[in-house]
Amino acid sequence: MTNLIKVAVIGAGMMGKNHIKTYQSLPGVDLVGVYDVFEEAANQAAETFHIKAFSSMEEVAQNVQAVSVVTTSVTHADVGEFFLKKGIHCLIEKPLATTELECQRLIKAAKENNAVLLVGHIERFNPAVEQLSKILTDTSKIRSLTAQRMSAASGRITDVDVAMDLMIHDVEVVQSLVKSKVINVEASNVQTKDKPDGKDYISALLKFENGVTANLTASRITQSRVRTLTVTTDENYIDMDFIAQSINVCTQGRSPYINKESLPEWMNYGLKGCEEHLFIPTNQPLAAEQKHFIDCILGKSSPRISGENALEALKVVWEVQRKLGFLKSSQASFLNAA
């Protein structure tokens, strides 16, 4: 039992409860408790999952080696920095923080105190995304990507626009695949009678330094749940579905079975098409993410989404928001400032 990593969850909302439930089924972890600024919420979660409700973050810090920070975005910097400065490893849900300065504070605290900082961009632990990254190891062959992340209105998150709520997932995934710096961002949005501010349907066109383009669309007004990513390369067209955790690869080329000399000229085409449906073992991404977090703590792995990775994704989203007038220029982190 002494070899177990002692963990607590900070935040007892819906996502916090998901973290609690998943930790309890994870080998190598001793989930010791939960803390929330709302004492009643912490007590209810503690009673449901038969764990301790901590009375303060100080008490948490005295009893754990690691925490999941699943609080509101505006509190991520203060909560995360508190624990990181004490050498306590942190898995912080996306977004890492709300400003570049806050992100840098967290990155600095992790480095100076030799603490793991993993940012919860959970789609990177989707088995289809993991497989796609293996297919696209030669990034020089990637030409363009198109991502769609759309659904109907939801009361889950209402304090941020759809770019920060949904599009940020695809921004981070695309950046991890292309492995090049974003040098330009264009954006547009859709205004409706019910959503006149245009914050619930946003499209962005990203241009990377290596010439790749990515077209991303995120919506909270679409009457169907869509989570897809397609990739055009020099050799094939790849269609991935985040929800189905599936990948189809379409390839076209000259058929090796046709002898051109034996065919009349009008039949001399010789093209073949091939579509492969890849078998991908499914998993539970949050469990995979938490296992990766524990492996990082044990020194078996390096954070798949570091603070620096998360900040680069945020810079793109902030630029989208600036282009749409949601942020003043002085508030945005310009892409060419690094």
Place of tokens 């296992």: 291
Asked whether residue 101 falls in the same domain as residue 137, the answer is no
Cα separation, 65 vs 107, in Å, equals: 18
Asked whether residue 152 falls in the same domain as residue 29, the answer is no
Asked whether residue 67 falls in the same domain as residue 111, the answer is yes
Which amino acid makes up residue 22?
A: T
Asked whether residue 133 falls in the same domain as residue 65, the answer is no
Place of tokens 């940012």: 119
Instruction: Give domain status of residue 301, yes or no.
Output: no
Farthest-apart Cα atoms in the chain, separation: 84
Instruction: Give domain status of residue 268, yes or no.
Output: yes
Instruction: Give domain status of residue 210, yes or no.
Output: yes
| Number of separate domains in the chain | 2
SS3 289: helix
Asked whether residue 204 falls in the same domain as residue 261, the answer is yes
Instruction: Give domain status of residue 302, yes or no.
Output: no
The residue segments making up the domain with residue 110 are: 5-115
Instruction: Give domain status of residue 299, yes or no.
Output: no
Asked whether residue 143 falls in the same domain as residue 67, the answer is no
- Alpha-carbon radius of gyration of the chain: 22
| Beta-strand pair 201-208/182-189 | antiparallel
Asked whether residue 28 falls in the same domain as residue 145, the answer is no
CA dist 92 → 96, 103, 243, 314, 318 (Å): 6, 11, 23, 14, 19
Which amino acid makes up residue 162?
A: V
Query: Domain holding 251: CATH number?
Result: 3.30.360.10
Instruction: Give domain status of residue 110, yes or no.
Output: yes
Asked whether residue 96 falls in the same domain as residue 150, the answer is no
The domain boundary, picked from 60, 93, 115, lies at 115
The domain boundary, picked from 115, 146, 175, lies at 115
Instruction: Give domain status of residue 288, yes or no.
Output: no
Residue 13 in tokens: 């909302």
Place of tokens 């038969």: 50
Give me the half-sphere count of Cα atoms (radius 13 Å) on the Cβ side of residue 123.
Answer: 27
> pLDDT tens, position by position, for the chain (338 residues)?
458 999 999 999 999 999 999 999 999 999 999 999 999 999 999 999 999 999 999 999 999 999 999 999 999 999 999 999 999 999 999 999 999 999 999 999 999 999 999 999 999 999 999 999 999 999 999 999 999 999 987 655 566 899 999 999 999 999 999 999 999 999 999 998 888 899 999 999 999 999 999 999 999 999 999 999 999 999 999 999 999 999 999 997 655 545 556 656 655 555 567 888 998 888 899 999 999 999 999 999 999 999 999 999 999 999 999 999 998 765 555 555 54
Query: Domain holding 19: CATH number?
Result: 3.40.50.720
Phi, psi of 52 (to 5 degrees): -85, 140
The domain boundary, picked from 81, 96, 115, lies at 115
Asked whether residue 137 falls in the same domain as residue 221, the answer is yes
